[in-house]
Amino acid sequence: MEENESIKKNYVPGLKVGKSGLEKTFEKDLIGTNGVQRYEVNAYGKRIKQLDHTVGKKGKNITLTVDAEIQKFANDILIGKSGSISVMDIYTGEIVALHSSPSFDPNLFLHGISNKDWKLIRENPLKPLLNKTISGLYSPGSTIKPIVALSALENDVISPNMKVKCTGKIELYGHTYHCWKEKGHGYMDLRNAIKQSCDTYFYETSRRLGVDRLNVTATKFGLGHKVLNGIFKNEKKGLVPSTKWKKNNLGRGWVLGETLLTGIGQGYIQTTPLQLCLMTAQLANGGFKIHPRIILDKSYEDYETIKNKMSQNIAEREDIQMGLIPTSDESINSSEKKYSILFRNQENVKFVLEAMFGSTNEVFGTSYRSRIEDKKYQFAGKTGTSQVKRITERDRELDLRIEQIPYKERDHALYIAYGPYKNPRYAVSIIIEHGGSGSRTAAPIAKKLFKLVIDRHEIREKIKQKEFQTI
């Protein structure tokens, strides 16, 4: 109640109150107002006459964009795991699923939770009280590589044909930086480096790019700031580091080795699963800014309208470049305009998306085992493995299997993807805490998830149109 002072007068004993999540955010809309009847009574409490009557007002209905069937699937497939699944429409920004695991039964709190149940929830090492989709902060691992590649291409510091020889490690100023493939990948170009997730290639790419230019691109594509505009009070903004950030916050200068680590999604960089989903969506739609939402509202633009506006934005920019529109026209150039262009050259975005296809659908791709050959369901993605502890030389010598490593020391498994490949409509991000490997643990979930998401597309659109009639 302490955070709902402005509407305290509407509460009466026994009334259910939204204390967290969307119910808390939209409490004022959901609660309505109480009806009041005042009577004159005699000394025995018997009503004599009615003095006044104020009719109560029913609270509003709020409809979510979340698909209950996909949300349930996300819940079921993550049972026994600690992690997150996010699904988003890459054009409308509608959130189709947003699940954090493990969860808990909120009904336990309705009439006062028992000490036993509260202790089980609070002491669960998998942290059911943490909404991992919006509040969990993770190193993105190799899921950042598409953005690193795009940033390097956009800034003309590399070309797709640039080759780097990977021997499994590089030496820099007395420090050794390892590739995940111990004996190396050999000579790699950019497409193969994305496809096979070659760390050595991205060490060199990030060295040429620099952390500040990477910061600009990553921020544009959704990292480093909240996704849902304050709807969830506990949503975290994450961190995309820069030289200025380190100086201001840690009082020390940036060093080159930190750039290399950032380029493979380690070090200071921290992201939420929902940010990774938005990043993937804004790549998959061709490189346009979208506005994620979780509340269904018929006033928002539909898919066709949004696609047309994106095309108009490209046409307007081409007119500017040809001198047909003055460059001083702020309405055209504003980065705050709807569905603004996030790229300098769209061919760079297309290149990265095609390389992600190779990562999933071609031999030697890191998620090749999770591919779907049916074009209806075919998707493209990028694996990620996020270290939770520093790997020592002793660890490398032991070369332990995942089941031999203590649970809390195992890497997090990540996967981002979009599909269907030929006509993209959805983006997903999956994180399995201490899952060991994105290719083994997270990508197989995406394979099952995309089949359901795509099968339910038309059903969901029909349900949405029906809901619009009642909003």
Do 44 and 91 belong to one domain?
Answer: no
CATH code for the domain of 396: 3.40.710.10
Q: Is residue 59 part of a domain?
A: no
Q: Average pLDDT of each block of 10 consecutive residues along the chain (471 residues)?
A: 49 65 77 84 90 83 93 97 98 97 86 88 92 97 98 98 97 93 97 98 98 98 94 94 98 97 98 98 98 90 92 87 65 64 96 98 97 97 90 64 79 97 98 94 97 96 85 69
Distance, CA of 134 to CA of 136 (rounded, Å):
6
Does residue 310 sit in the same domain as residue 434?
A: yes
Tell me whether residue 60 is in a domain.
Answer: no
Q: Which residues contact 284 (CB under 8 A, 6 or more apart)?
A: 90, 353, 418, 424, 427
140 and 34 in a common domain: no
287 and 175, same domain (yes or no): yes
pLDDT given at position 336: 58
What pTM value is reported for the model? 0.90
* Beta-bridge partner residues of 36: 54
Cβ-in-10-Å burial (0-12, 13-18, 19+) of 62 comes to middle
Structure tokens at 461: 């659109």
Q: What CA–CA distance (Å, rounded) separates 15 from 31? A: 9
Q: What is the pLDDT of residue 106?
A: 82
Strand residues in 298-401 grouped as ranges (E): 380-386
Residue 7 confidence (pLDDT): 46
Q: What pLDDT score was predicted for residue 164?
A: 98
61 occurs within a structural domain: no
Residues 131 and 157 in one domain: yes
Residue 17 and residue 81 share a domain: no
Same domain, 47 and 172: no
Same domain, 37 and 111: no
- How far apart (Å, rounded) are the C-alpha atoms in residues 232 and 234? 5
The 8-class DSSP code of residue 58 comes to P
Q: Residue 48 belongs to what domain range?
A: 5-54
How confident is the model at residue 3, as a pLDDT? Answer: 46
**Considering the domain boundaries, does residue 99 fall inside one?**
yes
Q: Is residue 63 assigned to a domain?
A: no
* 40 found inside a domain: yes
CA distance 435 to 437: 6
Q: Is 146 among the domain residues?
A: yes
Indicate if 29 and 142 belong to the same structural domain: no
How many structural domains does the chain have?
2
Distance separating alpha carbons of residues 85 and 430, to the nearest angstrom: 5
Same domain assignment for residues 260 and 388: yes
The verdict on residue 62 lying in a domain is no
- 162, with CB counted inside 10 A (0-12, 13-18, 19+), is middle
32 and 166 in a common domain: no
Q: How far apart are CA 192 and CA 205, in angstroms?
A: 13
Q: What is the pLDDT at residue 405?
A: 82
User: What is the pLDDT at residue 9?
Assistant: 53
Spatial separation of the C-alpha atoms in residues 246 and 236, rounded to whole Å: 19
Alpha helices in 104-165 (DSSP H): 115-122, 132-135, 145-154
What pLDDT is recorded for position 375? 96
Residue 155 shares a structural domain with residue 35:
no
